[in-house]
Structure 1
Amino acid sequence: MNKFFILALISFFPFSLSASESDLRIIYGELDFYIPNNPVVVGYLGTDSEILIAKYSDEPGKDIVGFSLDKEVNTGGCRPEAFFRSVLSESEAECDGAAVESFRYVFMKNRDSGIWSGGDKEFFYFIGSDKSTVFVTEKGADSRTYKIESNFLSKERIKNIFSSHL
């Protein structure tokens, strides 16, 4: 009964869910993702960040994939795409140095990082053993930046989430 209520409730939000053979398709904002099938619960927080969470464990804080509209990262006055490229570059940053160094400290310590590109989107990933974050931007556009976080998926499984764009 609870699962039915949750599924009925989320149908009113700005995304939709539909099942595929091995993954669950998420249409979130302007994006299309594939997350692992059979989450224990899916929840949506009706905030400005439009947070969507899929949880795969009954233990608090474990096995989560979260999607949000990113409005909090200080890009030092740069467009998000330029900022993330500066963060990943070992040469002098194009953007505010303090913002770049702060971001590196939070997101790159003990994490694998890089870029996946596909179509008109770029995926800037920062993947660690206990927490991984991917920022999604559109090439050359001054559009929204989405953030996807997980505390249990491998790098390959996280990349598979974006398979419809790569």
Structure 2
Amino acid sequence: MKKTALLIALAFFSLTAYAQTVPDITAAYAGMKFRVPGSPLIVGSIGANNDILLIKYSDSVGKRYISFSTENTLEAGDCGWTEFFEATLSAKEIYGCDRASVESFKSVFVQGTDSGTWKIANRAYYYFLSAQDPSFVFFQSKDGNLIKLESDFLDSDGFRAILAGS
């Protein structure tokens, strides 16, 4: 009798634990695959010039979202993206990129954030994480486009989990 009760209790707790874990889903963007949290409420895409993939986890406007967008129009100050992001993350005052472009980017994305570079699978990801505002990760896609990954709820581990599948 005790074994049966123990087996039933163990099965119940196992099923409860399984039901509470939501598996990740695969999102495809810019020829790459990413593992995003499962059970989104809305998934939308705007192609053409905007080229945005939006994944929402809340009914509230502007809350709990993940978005991917192509940012090829980012003003990089006459530099390549790698050099530009290295300049924005550097404490140096002298760099090869246009100073106004670097300072403008710093004022919007760097100030008040935890920022740096992650190297994952031979790719550089430039992150700008905020506790109060949306957080951003910029990286170059396989086809050479600059991609911006944005979320208002992911932390460092959440972003890294998404990017690990790319």
The residue type paired with residue 149 of structure 1 is E
Mapping 1:53-92, distance limit 5 Å: 53-91=54-92, 92=94
Give the number of equivalent residue pairs. 143
What residue ranges of structure 2 are gaps of 5+ in the alignment? 1-21
TM-score, normalised with respect to structure 2: 0.80
**1: CA distance, partners of 2:147 / 2:138:** 6
CA contact (8 A) 1:40 1:55 kept: yes
Q: Does 1:127 align with 2:125?
A: no
User: Structure 1-normalised TM-score?
Assistant: 0.80
Cα RMSD (Å) of the superposition?
Answer: 1.7
More strand by proportion, 1 or 2?
Answer: 1
CA deviations 1:116-160 (Å, max 9, x no partner) are 11234211000101210110126xx99211111001111211111
Q: Whole-Å Cα distance in 2 between the matches of residues 75 and 27 of structure 1? A: 26
Q: Secondary structure, in 3 states, of the residue corresponding to 2:59?
A: coil
Could you tell which deviates more after superposition, 52-61 or 66-75? Answer: 66-75
Query: For residue 101 of structure 1, what is the aligned residue in structure 2?
Result: 103
**Residue of structure 1 in register with 2:26 after alignment:** 25
Misfit runs of 4+, over 4 Å: none
* 2:44–2:55 Cα contact (<8 Å) kept: yes
Higher-Rg member (1/2) = 2
Which runs of no fewer than 5 residues in structure 1 stay unpaired? 1-20
Q: Tell me which amino acid in the other structure corresponds to 2:97.
A: C
Check 1:24–1:102 CA distance in 2 against 1; reply closer, same or farther (3 A cut): same
Query: Cα 1:61–1:142, aligned 2, differ >3 Å: closer, same or farther?
Result: closer
Q: CA deviation at 1:113?
A: 0.4
Counterpart CA distance in 1 for 2:118 and 2:39 is: 26
Deviation at 1:110, TM superposition (A): 1.1
Letter of the 2:89 partner, please give it: L
CA distance in 2, matches of 1:97, 1:151: 29
Distance in 1 (alpha carbons) for counterparts of 2:125 and 2:32: 12
